[in-house]
Structure 1
Amino acid sequence: MYITDYELFEVPPRWLFLKLTTSDGRVGWGEPVVEGRAKTVAAAVEELLDNYLLGEDPTRIEDHWQTMYRGGFYRGGPVLMSAIAGIDQTLWDLKGKQFGAPVHELLGGRARDRVRVYQWIGGDRPADVGEAAREKVDAGFSALKMNATAELESIDSPAAVDAAAERIAAVREAVGDEVDVGVDFHGRVAKPMARRLAAALEPYDPMFIEEPVLPENNDALPAIRASTTIPIATGERMYSRWDFKEVLEADAVDLIQPDVSHAGGITELKKIASMAEAYDVSVAPHCPLGPIALASCIQVDACTPNALIQEQSLDIHYNETSDVLDYLADPSVFEYRDGFVEVPDGDGLGIEIDEEHVREQAEEDVDWHNPVWRHDDGSVAEW
């Protein structure tokens, strides 16, 4: 058996799907994408497949990963690691189908029967979060996540801090103490404001604060963590175990959030999670993406003892034109009950992609890019 062909599909709202075909007719699916840079990642996928993987045996996943990563003099970063990630997902999907087993069985078997999920509320510039929180809890979710703020100055006003505290207070009032609420700083917050915001939010017991500073300022995380009892989470813009090694060794985080479509795929996500387990750090894979990425995450969550909770993008504010379930032949595989999703037991990633719908949607004009925000003085703000 060898890899014979591939196709890439850019589909709404902002996703890139990869279909890999083998000589015996098997098909594997992956999701290699950087949101807003789909065409750039597609070029990297084509380069890896055309120059190396076409004609190769797809079962040698570890060797392929090492070759794609180490075979080039320049390595790492979001584009290359996302290209590797999507290809890696297809290889695991193919291998599961070859052996007639879900991916988690090939990775050691289940450590749990179902995976807890959280639901987004509030949008980019969070508003009406109390009402939204109540609706999602009434729909069965026991954990939520919201952005803390819109754009912030590097040192902002007391009013900006108070507004953030008032939003999470409204959520707490709406849903009570039995619902977990993660608060995403989204890298919008500079070091001095991170400490002030954490102090203001602490009375409302967030489940975690996410990306309190940009990854390039991860050296500030130990001091931020020491200043609050709120668990610190980060990792969506970190792309390999070598990136995570630094924050783990520095005792800087309580929860890491590698993205299976950015951090080297299933192979690398499992290694990162195992590293974190040795440091008593939990894992909540980042996944505001499509159904293939979500299925890949759940396969890893299923066999990872320190997996805490799973992000998923159903009804997220980015998904205005298409949503996760639209691309599945059987959407019930991601049916959320009591805040959990069952671990799929189908072969490979455990999902069946509706290829006809994918091809129809790939005819649409997809050109998603994140907005560029500016402060009142015209300078660029973090989005």
Structure 2
Amino acid sequence: MKITHLDTVVVDFYRTNLIFVRLTTDEGLTGIAEATLEGQEHAVLGAVAVLAEAVRGKDATRITQTIYELNRDAYWRGGPVSMTALSALEMAMWDVSARALGVPVHRMLGGQVRDRVRAYANGWFSGAVTPEDFAEAALRTVGQGFRGLKWDPFEAADLFLEPRDLRRMLEPVEAVRAAVGDDVELFIEGHGRFDVPTAIRVARELERYQPVFFEEPCPPDGIDALVEVRSKSPVPIAAGERWIGRNTFVPALARNAVDYLQPDVTHAGGLLEMSFISTLAAAHYVPFAPHNPSGPLSTAATLQLGATLPNFRYLEIMATDVPWRSDISSERLRLTADGDVMIPEGIGLGIDLDYDAIAEHPFTPHPMRIFSDVVADIRPPDARSYFNLEGAGVR
């Protein structure tokens, strides 16, 4: 089964544009994957075009060999753009190979260890301003069935926070904890904002709210800083969404820099690399909690990993999304009343795209806003749930 074509499809998704990669073979089978990289869409499209020339005529089922040789032959290795393109190619090859056999991808990765994964919601807070707004949004999201909530309460903070600003920023955290009680898990995002002393101070203030973890307290290129913060933090530390490939994760694990590891299947190297990184984490008894704020194919691939990896602890997922998320693919996720997402059934990655629906939402520029005071505005006012809900009283 030879690769005849590799191309891309882009769809506007409010805060970013999703990039889907489509791999076509001479047997008429197509594999699909996601290559979304916020703010870098044009660069990724160029990187995929380079790969398209390199893989034409190659055996679509020889995944390990193809990815190894593409890495080996590249003079400039790594980086988010190249690795996002390469990750998508790898996932599309898994998808088409599994479709050829008529099995889900997880069957080829060792089979299932579970039929569901515990999820926590991101994006549930969009539009909230006051502590009361956050509390109300939290209660609505818990009413859907979610038992975990993540957000970044730190506005446009850059390295340092005045004590009065930190107190104000933590008011929504206090309101949410009071509203949902102790049985709902909270996850606090830092987006790599803080210097070492500020991150330690923030972590100590967060302890009273019992978060599962404090994510990316320092810039992602500073392992030394992360080690220092973790050594003094009373709450667990998570990181890894902006790390790429095993060579970044090995020193972080060796130096005990994290309590939770968060690689992203769309950037870290694809399914097999993620599986390898999870094994490294398991050797250090570090739970695996992949980053996953993107679209339906990123979620589909992450769920295939959730089915197979024993140390897979949490699935990050958006609680609501653009109204057309349910139109552009066959994604039909089931959220249980106790906060789990079921592993989808179906061959390959278990999902197909609707290209006519995608064409109705063409590319739209979206600048990144991590250091902006509108960072919380990550979903449109008409965002809606795209889950099939079980027993939560919401439809």
Greater Cα offset, 221-230 or 168-177? 221-230
Other-structure match for 2:103: 101
* Cα distance, 1:346–1:321 mapped onto 2, change above 3 Å: closer
* Cα distance, 1:374–1:349 mapped onto 2, change above 3 Å: closer
Aligned equivalents of 1:94 and 1:126: distance in 2?
Answer: 45
Q: How many Å apart are 1:237 and its aligned residue?
A: 0.5
Per-residue deviation, residues 4-61 of structure 1 (Å, max 9, x unmatched):
12321111111101111100100100111211111100100110111x1011100000
Other-structure match for 1:360: 360
Aligned residue for 2:278, secondary structure, equals helix
Aligned equivalents of 1:60 and 1:238: distance in 2?
Answer: 26
Q: 1:146 aligns with which of 142, 151, 161?
A: 151
Aligned equivalents of 2:323 and 2:344: distance in 1?
Answer: 26
Per-residue deviation, residues 232-285 of structure 1 (Å, max 9, x unmatched):
100111011111111100011011111111111112111111111111111111
* Cα distance, 1:374–1:19 mapped onto 2, change above 3 Å: closer
* Alpha carbons 1:126, 1:150 under 8 Å: kept: no
Aligned equivalents of 1:326 and 1:369: distance in 2?
Answer: 25
Aligned residue for 2:221, secondary structure, equals helix
Trace 1:23-38 onto structure 2 (pairs within 5 A): 23-38=26-41
One-letter code aligned to 1:111: V
Aligned equivalents of 1:29 and 1:369: distance in 2?
Answer: 26
Aligned equivalents of 1:80 and 1:146: distance in 2?
Answer: 28
Aligned residue for 1:111, secondary structure, equals coil
One-letter code aligned to 2:40: R
Aligned equivalents of 2:140 and 2:72: distance in 1?
Answer: 47
Q: How many Å apart are 1:196 and its aligned residue?
A: 0.8
Trace 1:163-242 onto structure 2 (pairs within 5 A): 163-242=168-247
Aligned equivalents of 1:221 and 1:173: distance in 2?
Answer: 30
Trace 1:1-383 onto structure 2 (pairs within 5 A): 1-13=1-13, 14-50=17-53, 52-120=54-122, 121-123=124-126, 127=130, 128-315=133-320, 319-320=321-322, 322-323=324-325, 325-329=326-330, 331-332=331-332, 334-338=333-337, 339-361=339-361, 364-371=362-369, 373=371
* Alpha carbons 2:88, 2:266 under 8 Å: kept: yes
Per-residue deviation, residues 148-169 of structure 1 (Å, max 9, x unmatched):
3112243321112212322211
Q: How many Å apart are 1:217 and its aligned residue?
A: 1.8
One-letter code aligned to 1:210: E
Aligned residue for 2:125, secondary structure, equals coil
Q: TM-score, normalised by structure 1?
A: 0.91
One-letter code aligned to 1:286: H
One-letter code aligned to 2:288: V
Aligned residue for 1:348, secondary structure, equals coil
Percent identity at matched positions? 36
Specify every segment of 5 or more residues in structure 2 that has no aligned partner in the other structure, as ranges. Answer: 374-395
* Alpha carbons 1:10, 1:366 under 8 Å: kept: no
Other-structure match for 1:378: none
Specify every segment of 5 or more residues in structure 1 that has no aligned partner in the other structure, as ranges. Answer: 376-383
* Cα distance, 1:154–1:365 mapped onto 2, change above 3 Å: closer
* Cα distance, 1:71–1:138 mapped onto 2, change above 3 Å: same
Aligned residue for 1:237, secondary structure, equals coil
* Alpha carbons 2:196, 2:228 under 8 Å: kept: no
* Cα distance, 1:276–1:130 mapped onto 2, change above 3 Å: same
One-letter code aligned to 1:71: D
Aligned equivalents of 2:66 and 2:36: distance in 1?
Answer: 19
One-letter code aligned to 2:179: A
Q: TM-score, normalised by structure 2?
A: 0.89
Q: How many Å apart are 1:322 and its aligned residue?
A: 4.2
Tell me how large the CA RMSD over aligned residues is: 1.9
Q: How many Å apart are 1:321 and its aligned residue?
A: 6.5
Other-structure match for 1:380: none
Aligned equivalents of 2:358 and 2:162: distance in 1?
Answer: 47
Q: How many Å apart are 1:74 and its aligned residue?
A: 1.5
Aligned equivalents of 1:229 and 1:306: distance in 2?
Answer: 23
Aligned equivalents of 1:358 and 1:183: distance in 2?
Answer: 33
Aligned equivalents of 1:327 and 1:294: distance in 2?
Answer: 14
Aligned residue for 1:259, secondary structure, equals coil
Q: How many Å apart are 1:320 and its aligned residue?
A: 4.8
